[in-house]
Structure formats: C-alpha cells, structure tokens
Structure 1
Amino acid sequence: MSSTDQDKTVNAAEAAENEAEAAETEAVELSVYDKIAIDADAEVSDELSAITRDPFARRARAEEIRDQARMELMALKPERDQLIAAAALYEPRDHLHQLFGISSLSMRRCMRSALGLGSDRDTAAPLPKDRAAAARAAGLLHSPDLVQRAIAVCERYEAAEARRRTAVAWRDEAHEATLTAGGRVKVAPLERPDFESVRQAAVNEINAQFATLVAGPEERLHLASEAVDQAEEEMSLLRIDRDQAVNTLAFYTTARGIDFSVGINREGVRVVQRRALGLPRHAKLPPKPKQPAAARRAGVRFMADAGEDLPQIALAYEAAKARRSAAIEIRDAAMRTLHSEPYNWTQVRLSEFTGRSVGVINAIVRKPTKTSSPKV
C-alpha cells in the first residue's frame, strides 16, 4: 500500500471514529453527575451573587469555598481512584466509566496508576483476561458492592469539584474585568514553532517502536491500541489548556497570528472561539470591540501567561495528535489482519478487545486494500 493510500485509510478511519463518538455524545442525556454539578454550581452561585456591593468580600468568600472544596477533593481522590481502578479491573463492562461520571480515558488512567504503570507509553496494560490477576497482585480489594461504593465516592467528588470550579470562576471574574478595562491587553509578538518537524518526529517515534517489535497480530493490536489511548489521553488534557490560551489571546489581547502559534488555521481558531461563547459551529463571532465583554459573559477566563505558554502547549498537543495518527495506522492494519484468514476475528470481538464501537471497526476492516498487504 502506498503512503498516499495509507494516509487516505487513516483519515477515513479517523473520520468514521470521530463521527461515531460525536453521535454517541449527542445521544446522551443529562447524567446524574451533570445534575450534581448543576445543583452545586447553583448553590455556590446563589450565595456569591447575593454579595453584590463589595467585590472584595465576594472574592474572599469565593476563595473560602474554593479552598474548602480543594481539601475535600484531596481527601476523596485516593479512595476514588482506587475504587475506579478496582471496578475496571474486576468488573469490566461496556460504558462502565459512565457510571463514575468520567471518560474511558480517565478510567484507564486510574487503572494504569493503580497497577504502577503510570503514563509510560512503552508499558502496556495487561490484556483483559489478565486484569483480575493483576488487580490482586497490586493489592486491590474486591467486594460485592464495589461498583456502588465507587459511584457514591464519585458523586461526592463531582459535587466538590463543581463547587471548586464555580468558586474559581467567580473569584476570577473581578480580575478579568480589571485586566481588560479600557480595551485589550498588549502582548509581545507570538512565537511561531516548527510544528511539521515535531509532528514528523512523533510519527517516527511510533514507527520506530513498532518496527523492532517481534509480536503476533493480537499483541501488536493490543500495544497499538494502548498507544492510541495514551495519545488521546494526552490530547484531551492538553486541549483544555491550549483552548484557554487561544481564547485569552483572541478575546482579551492584541495578539496577531494566533493560528501560526497554535498550529491550526484561522477557521480553527474561530471554531475554538465559537465553542467558548456557546455559539453554533458556523455562527458569526461578535465584532472585535465587543468580544472581550462577550467572552466575560460566557465565563472565558483570562490566562495571564497565554502568549508564553501557548507555543509549548500546542507543540505537545500536535505531537500527541501525530502519535495518535501513526498508532491508528498500525492498529488498523492489525485489525484487518485479525479479521482475515486464518484468525477470522469478528467485528464484535475486535470491538471488545480494543474498546472501540462496532461501527468504527466496520469502517476499518471493510476498507478495501491494494495489491500489497499492510505491515503488521
């Protein structure tokens, strides 16, 4: 298969995967955790909005709520993470992460941490059939009410996190108004990183890792799926900081050429802005003079060092994205091998093994191949 054909296959699979995940997201109604967060947000907002005359008193009370919530989160987190990991290892099931109000990536992160694997991309998690034994070896306890205990702690954690998040937003509101009073903040010219070199180095890293791997297609699929999951986890964490920096620069400063600094085109920057303002994907942004006020109303926080931090955040994000694309190509080739003779794995089996939906698997295994076989 030529490099052009491989690129088309990867892009088609990525598009199908993103569409399937978007459809699943749109179909989900408000969860228990959404309602917990909404109630906690309303409770804090009602209290702080009642302090109308003295912004300093409002700020002080917001800091008190924030600090109380932080202490509760610190106390709950070890127990929460351990219970989530134990449930994931002992009682795996479809959509288990939704019972805990977290993403599947976050659940895998808890599991890896409990097993002492950390974030090392070279260390794969145990195969599904070996996870209960790995949990026992790590000292994780199993009980009949394990999942219910995890849910109870996760609900308390979500309420505390919502209180902290809301208190921080209220506390920062006065600062943002001061920082942007009288116009936009003047910033130095932004750095323009060499994204192409970083992307290529990340692809080379993944390809080199698998080029020397001596393994059958099942283990190859497992390791490639782990690499995809790790890259997606990095992207999900980095995207938050990246978008906050982009929105700070675009809404509150005089920065120009933000697209060159973040590694996406101008329309991509506008998509980030619309998302921050809660606008439809193709809606017009407010005129430049009105954007700071619109951003404040939407709760867009000001990131003091955005101009300095954005290039490094964006480089890390683009490297993770490139690793994901390279790992997807290797993963998909292994899937097609296992789906063919002599293995004959079904789409359902591939879905259970990789944690991807059957729709995504179908898009991958049904993709026609050229005369040469993909490397697995």
Structure 2
Amino acid sequence: MAQPAAAGLGIAVAGAGVIGRRHIELIQAGPRTRLCAVVDPQPASRDFAAGLGVPHFESLEQLFAGPGEARPDGVVLATPNHLHVAGALACARQGVPALIEKPVADSLEAGLRLAEALAKQATPMLVGHHRRHSGTLQAARRAIRAGLLGRVVTVAGSAQFYKPASYFAQGAWRAQAGGGPILINLIHEMDNLRYLCGELESVHAFASNAVRQFAVEDTAVMTLKFASGVLGTFTLSDTVASPRSWEQTSGENTAYARYASQDCYFIAGTRGSLAVPTLQAWTHGPDSRGEPGWMTPFTEQTLALEAVDPLQAQLDHFCDLIDGKAEPIITVADALQSLLAVEAVRRSIATGETVALRDLAANPRQP
C-alpha cells in the first residue's frame, strides 16, 4: 500500500556503494520521495544508515520480513551486478516495484531467466539505463521519429577515451578478461543506439589489445545491422586521447571535462542528418529541378533541448511507475536486448563470424 502523498513514496536502496549513495541523495532531496531503508550486508553500511536516520537491513529478505512501517513502496537495486536478478525476483515476489541498476544481469542466461519470470507477473520493473531519460537523447529520438531525417540509412558511433594507468592499478581485474571496455562501457552505447535506431539484428566485430597488451581488449570496432535495414559502425577504445564519447560530449556527468563542440553519434537519412549530442541537424528540400541532391544547400539548425538531470528524471519516472501513472521507459525484456548486443559483440570477436541476436537468444550457452 502506497504511503499518503504528503509523506512521499518510501524508497529503500539496496547497495550503499557509490551509485547507491547517489540514488539516496536524490531520494532525500526529492519532493515525492523519502528514504525508508538501507539494505547492505557490509558492517559500515549500518553506521551509514544510522547517520541518515533510517532502518538498516542486511538483506531484502530481512527488509520484507521487517515491521510494516519499513515496507517500501519501491526498491532501488544498486547492488553488485551478480545480485541484480535475485534482488529483482525478491521484489517481484513481494509485489514491490524495483529500479534495477544496469546491466540488468551479469550474464545472458541470468537475464533471460529474469525476463521469463517477470513475464508472468505484473509488478513494474524499471532498468536503470538512465541515459534514456536524457533530454538530449529524447530530443534526438523525437526528431528521428518525426521524420526529420527521412528514412534513416546509417549511423556512426564512438566511445573513445583514455583510461589512465591508475585506473588499472586500482583494480587489477580490469586488466584481465571481463575487465575491458566491451563489458564495462559498451552496454550504455548499445542501449543508446537501440533507442535511437531500433532493434539490432546482427553484429560483426574485431578487437585488439595491441596498445596495452593486457589479457583483455583495449579497442574494438564493430559493424551493426538493424532490423529496419539501418547499417552502422561503432568504434570503442579506452586507450586513445579522444573527446568523442558520451560522457565527454553530453556534459551530463560533471566529473568529466566537456567538449561541447564534439559529437559521439552521427545519424544520416534520406532527407537529412543529425549529430548527437550537439543536436546539429542538416536537412535539404528540393532544388531548382524539384528534387534534392548533393549539390542542394542544406538548411542547418540546432534542435531545441530541455536540459535535465537524467538520474533525477529517472527517479521521477520510477515514482510514476509506483503510482501507476506510467509504463517503464525500459523494461527488463527491453534491457535484455542491450545485453544481447554486447554478448553478440563478444561472440563475434571470439568466432570471427557475424552473430545474429536472435540466434544468440535461442542458444545463450553457445561458447
């Protein structure tokens, strides 16, 4: 049962790490929410919760078995990746909506199991791909859907940046298999491209560790085929001095230096093109002969942008889900497609073959 509107929606946060504490800050500052509990097995989290003046529980099971006043209206799952599925299932059994941090699962098999289980019940679940709440992505998506570019034909994307030596010194696992930019960074990009261009059909990828010579890749290049027929390329590297990544161009995370003149996506269609996140658009109408062509001057414009904090917008959306006022902007089944895309990239690199996402979903255990 939801709390009275004046009291705000009671949100529990499971996981008191960096991202969990960011969620807590937003919940405490929000006019629609109140922090009702912290769930974390680490001893230090007990003192953290006490300092916030809220109950502490070591597990979701303890939370749900606790006193009625501690029962949440919703739960933010900011736990380690391998606990996302178990946490989401625990919330679903209690009929409590959850915001599941990305990635939705730590493996394709686990994600498929979760999607299958949740398909049988009605509790709303939101996956924390917070960039979908970005005013920039929303504006680009609206323009594409409104036909500003005509039929989209190609997309070129980039996530290129330089991770310093200290990044790897702080976590030796980052230099080992599973610690490279494919598993750490690429899922955000695949979700962005899917949100703008539709579902992916297949990928073909190559990777290299030639620069750092770690046991994991430092660079990958991939070709993408979307179900709509759009063809794309994407370049990923954590060892190049480049400003062309979402974090360095969008300005949405102030921890990064911003290069506002640069873009990380370029989407081209039959009537025009769009650069993201600058939202520069080039369109042309018919020439003197009544048809557009490569000699036709473009009309240049910058799309209007309503700047928002994506994490705050995500929390507002989560509140709407709890109140029954909205459907999830990204469900578990939807987020699973981004996880499939990343796994398809990994499989293509391993096999040297083009990998279809449909085949991968049907055979998730295939090496």
Higher relative contact order (CA 8 A, sep 6+): 1
Which structure dedicates a bigger proportion of its chain to strand? 2
Query: Which structure has the larger Rg over C-alpha atoms?
Result: 1
TM-score (norm 1): 0.21
TM-score (norm 2): 0.22
